[in-house]
Amino acid sequence: MAGTLWLVGTPIGNLGDISERARETLARSDVIACEDTRRTRALLTHFNIRAPRLVSFFEGNERGRIPEILKLLREGSNVALVSDAGTPAISDPGYLLVAACVEEGLSVDAVPGPSAAITALMVSGLPTDRFAFEGFLPRTSGRRRKRLAELTTDPRTLVFFESPRRVAALLKDALDVFGDRRAALARELTKVHQEVIRGPLAVIRERIGEVRGEVVLVVEGAAEKDEPDLDELAARVESLRGEGLSRRAAAAQVAGESGVSKRTLYESSLRITTK
């Protein structure tokens, strides 16, 4: 019988956040695939878990390791996948392995755990009902700004990861592209020196000092525009017709004023005159 690939969430800072199910899964796994074997061994030692076989599985060797792990699963080994911190496959290696397992019909399961993205969103003070997780943006300013520009009209709260070396550059680009939106910058989440800076992007940029460790930037989404009232706009078309404009010319003028298509306004004005 084939084994199961387990995606196991581990603490993002506070070791007390590990779940009992995560501990049990790690303890009974035959193999643990991890980004850094030293960090994972230290985690297992802390929880008195006898370390099974550990194999490195990080961005640089992910593709090369997949055939080996698939072979282990086919032979009946249960393999746990963990990242250095948080939830594997979320801005960390794992997606390609999961996809390969699904393609082969091998069992994949998850032990939910801490996530820096969700934790930062929860404490940001920004809307949480709809959000978009963007992970790490491109490293160069030009490509980063291009991606930010693609998100300017997205009404969902936006969540980004960033390294301490590029936080200042990200804040500058976000301020230039988005304008001075509300935001929250979280660092050292769940740790002793946790800090969450909330306020407009310009204020956060002024307040941020030396940053250690990866941060999460949460940014307010774009303001949603009210849907135009077609009946009111059609009435405006009719009003212009009363001033001597043709229906087509009136519809074109109102289209320029409202952003609604000329054809839609033309047909709407026809409907109200035939009611």
AA letter at 144: R
Whether residue 165 lies inside any domain: the answer is: yes
Is 8 found in the same domain as 104?
yes
User: What residue numbers bound the domain in which 251 lies?
Assistant: 230-273
Would residue 224 count as lying in a domain? no
11 domain residue, yes or no: yes
- For position 274, what pLDDT does the model report? 67
pLDDT for position 237: 87
Q: What are phi and psi of 34, to 5 degrees?
A: -145, 155
Confidence at residue 216, expressed as pLDDT on a 0 to 100 scale? 97
Question: Which among 141, 117, 136 is positioned nearest to 128, based on CA atoms?
Answer: 117
Is there a domain that residue 262 lies in? Answer: yes
> What is the pLDDT at residue 267?
85
Strand partners, 186: 196, 216
User: Which residues are CB-neighbours of 180 under 8 A, at least 6 positions away?
Assistant: 200, 201, 202
Residue 262 is predicted with a pLDDT of 85
Say yes or no: 128 and 189 in one domain.
yes
Distance between CA atoms of 86 and 62, rounded to whole angstroms?
Answer: 18
Residue 214 and residue 154 share a domain: yes
Pairing of strands 215-219, 4-8: unpaired
Classify residue 80: in a domain, yes or no: yes
The tens place of each residue's pLDDT in the chain, 275 residues long, gives 999 999 999 999 999 999 999 999 999 999 999 999 999 999 999 999 998 899 999 999 999 999 999 999 999 999 999 999 999 999 899 999 999 999 999 999 999 999 999 999 999 999 999 999 999 999 999 999 999 999 999 999 999 999 999 999 999 999 999 999 999 999 999 999 999 999 999 999 999 887 888 899 999 999 876 677 888 888 888 888 888 889 999 888 888 888 788 888 888 888 877 65
Residue 225 in domain: no
Are residues 162 and 194 part of one domain? yes
- Kindly state whether residues 168 and 267 are assigned to the same domain: no
Structure tokens at 144: 């980063």
| 198/249 same-domain check | no
Please give the Cα distance from 177 to 219 (Å, whole number).
Answer: 12
> What's the CA dihedral at 200, 205, 208, 211 to 10 degrees?
120
Residues 211 and 196 in one domain: yes
Within a domain: 128: yes
Same domain, 248 and 212: no
Question: Are residues 237 and 213 part of one domain?
Answer: no
Contacts (Cβ under 8 Å, ≥6 apart) of 133: 90, 117, 159
What one-character-per-residue DSSP string does the chain give?
A: ---EEEEE-B-SS-GGG--HHHHHHHHH-SEEEES-HHHHHHHHHHTTPPP-EEEE--TTTHHHHHHHHHHHHHTT--EEEE-SSB-TTSSSTTHHHHHHHHHHT-EEEEE----HHHHHHHHH-S--SSEEEEEEPPSSHHHHHHHHHHTTT--SEEEEEE-TTTHHHHHHHHHHHH-S-EEEEEESTTSTT-EEEEEEHHHHHHH-----S-EEEEEPPPPPPPPP-HHHHHHHHHHHHHTT--HHHHHHHHHHHH---HHHHHHHHHHHH--
Where a domain ends, among 114, 144, 162? 114
Structural domain count of the chain: 3
CATH code for the domain in which residue 53 is found: 3.40.1010.10
CATH number, domain of 186, equals 3.30.950.10
Is the same domain home to 97 and 124?
no
Q: Are residues 110 and 189 in the same domain?
A: no
Token pair for 82: 């963990």
- The pLDDT assigned to 151 comes to 96
CA 127 – CA 111 distance, rounded (Å): 27
Neighbouring residues of 4: CB distance < 8 A, sequence distance ≥ 6: 73, 78, 79, 106, 107, 108, 109
Which one of 65, 91, 114 terminates a domain? 114
pLDDT at 263: 87
- Residues 97, 21 share a domain: yes
- The verdict on residue 265 lying in a domain is yes
